[in-house]
Amino acid sequence: MAIIQNIEIDGRQVPFKASAAIPRVYRARFHRDIFKDLDKLATALGENIDESEAQTGEVKLSSLDVSTLETFENIAYIMAKYADPAVPGNIEAWLDGFNTFSIYQILPKLIELWGVNAATEAESKKNLDRLTAR
């Protein structure tokens, strides 16, 4: 089951989608494993956020390396593109629609959205296992 959540960026609601198809789409587009990349992002976020940042949800760009930022942009783009087909066909055009720093404020929210989706998938599998065990 797909989960679509609107996240406010630059004063507008931007939809992001987490579903079972996203890992496949991400792998096909970037030749990378989204689960490993999300884990890397969560670790980087946890290591580089201080208490004041935790309260505001803002991450200092200087605290994340370029590779981590690019990974985040790729994940955010795929989740936005599959939530809204009107999203441009390339990442650069999509990113051009936002203030330079505002897009990075959504990183914790995307990690949380994916976590919610993963929990839903695990619960669905448990329920399926119970039904097929009869």
Residues 57-99 pLDDT 10s: 555 555 678 888 899 899 999 999 999 999 999 999 999 988 8
For residue 6, list its beta bridge partners. 15
Which positions ≥6 away from 110 have C-beta within 8 Å? 7, 16, 72, 75, 76, 79
Q: Which residues pair with 17 in a beta bridge?
A: 4
Instruction: Say what percent of the chain tops pLDDT 70.
Output: 69
Considering only residues 134 and 70, tell me which one the structure prediction assigns the higher pLDDT: 70
Section 40-60 average pLDDT: 64
Amino acid symbol at 23: P
pLDDT at site 131? 45
pLDDT band at 124 (very low <50, low <70, confident <90, very high): very low
Backbone angles phi, psi at 49, to 5 degrees: -110, 135
Q: What is the pTM of this model?
A: 0.75
Domain ranges of the chain: 3-132
